[in-house]
Amino acid sequence: MAPVTTKNTSDPTPSDDAFLFVNISGPTDGRHRGPSTQTRIRQHVMRDITKAQPKPPPNRRAKSKKGNSKKKMRHTKTPDASALEGHSEEPRDHESATGTIVSRISGSPIDGSSPGTPDRCCTQLQQPTALVHLKLNQHPLDVLYQSLADRSKFPAYSLVYAVTQNVKVNHAPGRSFLFPFAFKETPLYHKILTGQHVAEIVRSSPEKSIMIAITRFTEVLRCIRKRLSHPDLDMALSDDTIMAVIDSICYSFALEDLTQARCHLDGLYMMINSRGGYSSFSEKPDIQRMMFWIDVTAAIIFERIPRFPLPATLLPPPPRTGTSAIWDLLSLVKETECQSDVEQNELFDALKEVSSIAKTIESEVFTRGDAAWHDAVFLGSLVHPVAHRLLSTLEQDCEKQHLPISVSIRLGIALFVLILKQQSQGCPAPSTPYVAKTVAVLYWDIPNIPSHMSSILFTLQLWLLLLCTIAYPDTTLLPEIQMMITRIMKQSNLNCWDKVVATARLMPWISKFGSRKGFGDYLIDDVN
């Protein structure tokens, strides 16, 4: 992956547009690229241009003026109001209107002028659109974006956050990605963006709202491009540029455009390395915390090792509380699986940390009520460190797939983290991969289980199955989950649903899990 810019000095047309980051391998010099790489780049460019700028519909022909019927009337083409404002005359599906949000940067070529901050870095359009002339007819979201660009470091993300709260783009309404730091300095804007007035505007013209968000996103990318092209490295890799790239990542997360998000994440990582690494932000804890937040979220989604280290200076040592069930599980693992003490301790430290997190959340919910259960910063600050430590051991654990109990514990911790991320709108992707892996692991044979330890194994399995129902409120895997729960109930002599829940609560659990969609709506009746 490398930054790519294209420029045609002889013909300043829209072909001057460039891409921030293109997924390639090998040298970045065009003379040394192979034919297959050049073909992929051309296909990538043409596909993204097609999606970013769909061809406008043909203008309607103007009606003939009344006059002498014997005279031959000439019809001329004139754009109607909807075409001037950017509306399509034929309705399109909201998903096709978005497509894959591209990192295309439209506008004039780079000049020698000094770029402004990404918040207000708006180049002059070569041919002003109708919205420039018709100020009184500006779409309300355009006006809102101009206000966001003046006051927020995340204007593109903030605007698309309001849209995805009310319009089905690539996912169901209400599942939009919330990046709480975007509204830390401007909390009033979060209330405005999620308010009834903005909701009515978006729902009244959903396609137009989506296209406005895409257009404004390309403006942010244009600003990033100008900064990255600046000869002064301090200017090119400034804090404002870093924040603008984070804005573009959050924008892609909000639309669940994970391919584009991954591309911009690679670009952010390259920029930070060029600036001196993650430690170069040690005196800027706010930016460091944002990068850590984004990095862990991406590691959870893509199931990879986090790229940035754990910011120990920002996070206190985690409390770890053991329970009788956890100690019994540790004894079971020691008897049945061959692992070093270090590896076992790492895994069970994470499990004990999750147990402490559950108790902390229970205490906060008791004190603050539902406000704590919906506090994205509070929940994220608790689960991100344990997620970082768990995912940092991904490579060595991949070699131990023959350890079903340890793998089950890892997946249980991951599902616990995912549920809390979902609760705070912090996970812009479905939990299907983790749930599918968990169900598959529960089919594995576990030989040589001592009879006196079978009960703790049933406890672990029921905990995993109930976490699956909470993290994955879908019906695809429901028959398998119900069958497994029924089988374990018979094997462990649990004759009612309350006993099933009570058994699972021996593991890390939060009482609010019972209010999550998918937990009690259909499983109670079917299992009973």
pLDDT at 450: 78
Is residue 391 assigned to a domain?
A: yes
Dihedral of alpha carbons 215, 98, 249, 146, sign: positive
Q: 244-283, pLDDT tens digit by residue? A: 999 999 999 999 899 999 999 999 999 999 999 998 898 8
Is residue 260 assigned to a domain?
A: yes
Q: Looking at this protein, which amino acid is placed at residue 501?
A: V
Is residue 48 assigned to a domain?
A: no
Q: 414-423, pLDDT tens digit by residue? A: 999 999 998 8
pLDDT at 13: 40
Residue 221, pLDDT > 50, answer yes
Residue 449, pLDDT > 50, answer yes
Give the relative orientation of helices 478-491 and 432-441 as an angle to the nearest 10 degrees: 40
Residue 101, pLDDT > 50, answer no
Is residue 498 assigned to a domain?
A: yes
Is residue 180 assigned to a domain?
A: yes
Q: Which of 40-44, 45-49, 66-70, 253-257 is the least confident region?
A: 66-70
Are 202 and 108 within one domain? yes
pLDDT at 187: 80
Give the relative orientation of helices 196-204 and 155-164 as an angle to the nearest 10 degrees: 80
pTM, two decimal places: 0.73
pLDDT at 495: 84
Give CA–CA dist 429/176, Å, rounded.
10
298 close to 261: Cβ distance less than 8 angstroms: yes
* Residue appearing with tokens 């405005």: 192
Q: Which of 18-22, 140-144, 427-431, 495-499 is the least confident region?
A: 18-22
77 close to 57: Cβ distance less than 8 angstroms: no
Are 343 and 260 within one domain? no
Q: Which of 9-13, 106-110, 509-513 is the least confident region?
A: 106-110
Report the Cα–Cα distance between both ends of the chain, in Å, rounded: 53
Q: Which residues pair with 61 in a beta bridge?
A: 77
Are 246 and 361 within one domain? no
Q: 130-140, pLDDT tens digit by residue? A: 333 334 457 88
Is residue 303 assigned to a domain?
A: no
Give CA–CA dist 473/419, Å, rounded.
11
Are 267 and 146 within one domain? yes
Question: Which two three-digit tokens encode residue 84?
Answer: 């001037």
Closest to 176 measured CA to CA, from 255, 58, 99, 110: 255
Is residue 424 assigned to a domain?
A: yes
Are 112 and 182 within one domain? yes
Are 249 and 331 within one domain? no
Are 243 and 332 within one domain? no
Burial letters 277-297, b for 16+ CB under 10 A, else e: ebeebeeeeebbbbbbbbbbb
Last residue of a domain, one of 275, 298, 315: 275
Are 216 and 351 within one domain? no
Of 179-188, 220-229, 423-432, the range with the highest mean pLDDT is 220-229
Q: pLDDT band at 317, cuts 50/70/90?
A: confident
Last residue of a domain, one of 239, 257, 275: 275
For 46, the enclosing helix (H) or strand (E) is helix 35-52
Is residue 178 assigned to a domain?
A: yes
Residue 349, domain extent: 324-527
Q: Which of 285-294, 313-322, 335-344, 516-525 is the least confident region?
A: 516-525
Longest dimension (CA), the chain: 103
Q: pLDDT band at 71, cuts 50/70/90?
A: very low
76 close to 61: Cβ distance less than 8 angstroms: yes
Are 190 and 260 within one domain? yes
Give CA–CA dist 152/161, Å, rounded.
13
- Mean pLDDT of all residues belonging to the chain: 76
Residue 357, pLDDT > 90, answer yes
Last residue of a domain, one of 241, 275, 309: 275
Give the relative orientation of helices 454-471 and 324-336 as an angle to the nearest 10 degrees: 110
Are 267 and 342 within one domain? no
Domain count, the chain: 2
Are 97 and 215 within one domain? yes
Are 202 and 351 within one domain? no
* Residue appearing with tokens 């040589």: 448
